[in-house]
Structure 1
């Protein structure tokens, strides 16, 4: 089975939009919005933990904070700090190159953006694309209303096409039936339709911190850009099928509108003449925000997740994200003094980093383990379960407080966090003492070049360029994998742990 290729940065120039009315990139964005016929939209905001306070309202366009009496109490919604826009002008077809903008809402006066965005959202000749965009619109509307006044929100987006519906259309799903309850993620949709892998490592990064990293900018731009690529597949399928009447409906309307120009099997261009009119008329929908959408609602789901009042484990559950020790290897509670971890599937890369510094770090015994399987392995092997999944914390009572939620996103930072949290003592003689492939131990004595060549026969090829270098070879006692040590690797590990 072919694995999807990692997502490259968008092949279009990415414009980071900052500054006020004199900003060239802001002027470029406004011109593109006015000319756009197909626009892909996405938004980012700082992830909020339970119980965190609402963000303060953004300032006016001139940077002056609003006086308290001039605005109502801000809704308890996250403040949108980044808006991604990928747009195409002309006829909106594949041939149009298009452009991608990453708009820094903390650095652009919202007063300069409100009218152009509102016009774009309601323009009938511009088709808007999004992935479950209603929540983004709610937060975006609340952000503008908090900064500019109650009437400065957004109440609708039309015509709109949800990429989720496009996905089910392209997969031949019977649209007379309801879509599956568990909707696909955008990463999964891109993987299945485009054979590209969208890394979501930065999804929960702090989008309110400035400056934005290059990785954040490219990540944000990709989420909007690939919506256009998916729309291209939709266009191709419609063109190939030839007739409007033979296509599977994306909406509940079972009849082709009289305003739709009849397509012919001779290859009618669906964008000619009326541009996007056939698609807009036949397949689009609209997002309408009601008054109830602008008011935060207490989550019923949270109530369902609460343990019954008579649950025996009630008093033992502690969902704190801070480690409260002692770890199971602590000699004071009968441990052997040797740290051991289990990294769940979300952070398997951290396991390799821990092994590089000599720490016993296992991965789940199955590819898609259930929470109880993870906790059972943790308990039996006396390990600490490392995870990014906050939901696993509620199962801590099954493994005597042996679950720790890693807060950092990048692997090097995660390694430093674990070393600091558990006060791990890393010495130079432990570096590269475990197999990064299987977690096994190396033989105590390094192999000579001749011994390594003999050990590699029929199993592993040693590059000939290494024969004239003064290297030490090591062999894993469990999986027989051969390693050779370069000083640059050891220096890099020293830099991480110091």
Structure 2
């Protein structure tokens, strides 16, 4: 089920200091005007549940960052490589820095200087939390005081806010849109976040993980390009009809930015939600440079960042900010425990939130003895929508709430009407008086793969290879039983979904959801997903 990111990316995996990729990274950090930042980590699990509160407080720590992503916009190519095809069309290069392999001493100084270089504008999406974890990771390896300042810096969520506010020509409140939503509206790309909670400490990373990580950083440059184009246009004429030369200010962001004259450097593409990132490409042959490690050691690659161009300087002056970590930011937050209230009794006398509800016992509502059809059905609340998609991938009926912010009673009523078990991580939801027996289960695991296994084991679900990828991950619908030919798929996709031209001569079978009409095909991502869930569910054993 393959869909492409708008631009093919050349991804440089940096895991050793004696590689050409590390040398190119050193060059990029000293010859870039823009650097987009992101980081991946594995959550820390508390192993101190039987210790005293004081012991637990001493044991608390931040997650350790295992991967740092940098998408750099070069102002200058390395010597003798001005015509290199190893760079993207927008003069950017993407690095994935393996912090489990690269010696911290080799990059600490370079990163720290780049973070405060006034001639490098740093971009991120809610990057403060990443910086806290990154700083803690370096401090834990003896590199005090870590990183406490990033300047100049612009958050992509602020850029989106400015774009939206000026487009509507009125003052609007701050929003909390996700990066995936922003990419959909500004780039016309559905950015899948399926891999966000995967295990980033495992090596080697899968190809899909590497692509996901690279796109998460590079898309920030793409979004900034739109913002810079708007600022440049405003600076040229106070009578511009609108942000991109279009007369209709009532259009939404997505519709306006999809006009072909908006920005020639940005390629827009409508793609389906199903694993849209896997169409990007990783270079199989890494960049081979004539820049040597001797140049790095001798100081030939010392900081040589040129002053920012006028348009970037104006943006920094008008919209730039900084991230400054305080001492309290560098300490893991310890939640204050309140006195426990006595749980309210349920209709049958069992207290809500006790082990009988939290750990599950009895027959679920879909069992025939309870009047059901015997097919497992779940309702995943908004806190664990990622689990819903995982359940759909293994063929389990997993719905989500009808409204985006449902009241607790709405959630319970929907589950009761559809004979579903509510899956949640919200302990408060367990205490509602109007819950029926065996209507809710609190998921304990944090990661989606482990949540999936927990639900399978708790409810003794039967998973087979034939059931894998048999439901629509977008809406939970079933696929049409008969596969579509390429010709039928092209006809079905008209005005609805884009099918990459490269699929037309591969004689693939296409499948269509009976509910939302989303089209899928058995491409590389499909087979990778099948193998992934075979491994997770141990189906081959």
Interval of TM-score (by shorter of Structure 1 and Structure 2): 0.5 to 0.7
What secondary structure does 1:286 align onto?
strand
Given that residues 156 and 286 in structure 1 are in contact (C-alpha distance below 8 angstroms), is that contact kept between their aligned partners in structure 2? yes
Which residue in the other structure is 1:252 paired with?
Answer: none
Which residue in the other structure is 2:409 paired with?
Answer: 372
Q: How does 1:380-419 map to 2 (within 5 A)?
A: 380-386=417-423, 389-391=424-426, 394-395=429-430, 398-404=435-441, 405=443, 418-419=455-456
Shift of 1:207: 1.4
Say if 2:10 is the partner of 1:13: yes
Aligned counterpart in structure 2 of residue 285 of structure 1, from 321, 335, 347: 321
Given that residues 362 and 439 in structure 1 are in contact (C-alpha distance below 8 angstroms), is that contact kept between their aligned partners in structure 2? no
Whole-angstrom distance in 2 between the partners of 1:273 and 1:378? 57
Whole-angstrom distance in 1 between the partners of 2:116 and 2:93? 21
- Structure with greater Cα Rg: 1
Aligned counterpart in structure 1 of residue 213 of structure 2, from 220, 223, 226: 220
What secondary structure does 1:8 align onto?
coil
In the superposition, the TM-score normalised over structure 1's length comes to: 0.65
Whole-angstrom distance in 1 between the partners of 2:168 and 2:135? 31
Which residue in the other structure is 1:363 paired with?
Answer: 399
Given that residues 10 and 218 in structure 1 are in contact (C-alpha distance below 8 angstroms), is that contact kept between their aligned partners in structure 2? no
Q: How has the CA–CA distance of structure 1 residues 338 and 272 changed in structure 2, closer, same or farther, with 3 Å as cutoff?
A: closer
Given that residues 344 and 352 in structure 2 are in contact (C-alpha distance below 8 angstroms), is that contact kept between their aligned partners in structure 1? no
Whole-angstrom distance in 2 between the partners of 1:135 and 1:144? 14
Shift of 1:42: 0.7
Given that residues 198 and 448 in structure 2 are in contact (C-alpha distance below 8 angstroms), is that contact kept between their aligned partners in structure 1? no
Shift of 1:103: 0.9
Whole-angstrom distance in 2 between the partners of 1:298 and 1:214? 37
Shift of 1:201: 1.0
Aligned counterpart in structure 1 of residue 104 of structure 2, from 103, 107, 110: 110
Given that residues 396 and 403 in structure 1 are in contact (C-alpha distance below 8 angstroms), is that contact kept between their aligned partners in structure 2? no
What secondary structure does 2:134 align onto?
helix
What secondary structure does 2:141 align onto?
helix
What secondary structure does 2:96 align onto?
strand
Say if 2:71 is the partner of 1:35: no
Count how many residue pairs are aligned between Structure 1 and Structure 2: 395
Shift of 1:315: 4.5
Q: Which has the higher contact order (CA 8 A, sep 6+)?
A: 2
In the superposition, the TM-score normalised over structure 2's length comes to: 0.60
**Superposed CA offset, 1:400-440 (max 9, x none):** 343343969789x9877655442345799x979x9989989
**Superposed CA offset, 1:197-218 (max 9, x none):** 1111111112112221111111
Give unmatched runs, 5+ long, in structure 2: 50-57, 78-87, 243-306, 483-491, 493-513, 518-526
Q: How does 1:22-101 map to 2 (within 5 A)?
A: 22-48=18-44, 51=46, 76-90=61-75, 96-101=90-95
Given that residues 154 and 321 in structure 2 are in contact (C-alpha distance below 8 angstroms), is that contact kept between their aligned partners in structure 1? yes
Aligned counterpart in structure 1 of residue 195 of structure 2, from 202, 227, 237: 202
Which residue in the other structure is 1:325 paired with?
Answer: 361
Whole-angstrom distance in 2 between the partners of 1:204 and 1:350? 12
Whole-angstrom distance in 2 between the partners of 1:75 and 1:33? 33
Give unmatched runs, 5+ long, in structure 1: 55-72, 249-270, 448-459, 461-477, 482-488
Aligned counterpart in structure 2 of residue 172 of structure 1, from 165, 171, 178: 165
Which residue in the other structure is 1:141 paired with?
Answer: 135
Whole-angstrom distance in 2 between the partners of 1:119 and 1:32? 13
Whole-angstrom distance in 2 between the partners of 1:231 and 1:32? 19
Q: How has the CA–CA distance of structure 1 residues 348 and 153 changed in structure 2, closer, same or farther, with 3 Å as cutoff?
A: closer
